[in-house]
């Protein structure tokens, strides 16, 4: 499945989601499925590698 970046009007594969410009301002970020899935993927990776529990409360 392809996901669409609203800011850059670009399609991203859903099997490897993640914002390609995480340091830039984006007015769509809070409602962005790409950003959400990328953060969830990062959280899972940290959990598997033994990351700290404090990282679970990441808001942005």
User: What DSSP character marks residue 29?
Assistant: G
In a domain, 59, yes or no: no
Angle, CA 49 vertex, CA 5 and CA 34 arms, to 5°: 5
User: What DSSP character marks residue 23?
Assistant: T
8 Å CB contact between 41 and 18: yes
Give the model confidence (pLDDT) of 34-45 as tens digits: 999 999 999 999
How many folded domains does the chain comprise?
A: 1
For 20, the domain range is 2-51
CA 54 from centre of chain = 18
User: Quick one: pLDDT at residue 16?
Assistant: 82
In a domain, 31, yes or no: yes
In a domain, 57, yes or no: no
CA distance 15 to 58: 22
In a domain, 19, yes or no: yes
User: What DSSP character marks residue 3?
Assistant: E
More confident residue, 54 or 10: 10
Question: What is the residue-averaged pLDDT of the chain?
Answer: 85
In a domain, 20, yes or no: yes
More confident residue, 57 or 38: 38
User: What DSSP character marks residue 5?
Assistant: E
């Amino acid at each position: 499945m392809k996901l669409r970046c609203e800011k850059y009007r670009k399609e991203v594969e859903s099997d490897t989601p993640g914002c390609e410009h995480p340091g830039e301002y984006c007015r769509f970020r809070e409602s962005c499925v790409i950003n959400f899935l990328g953060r969830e993927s990062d959280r899972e990776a940290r959990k598997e590698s033994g990351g700290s529990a404090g990282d679970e409360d990441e808001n942005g």
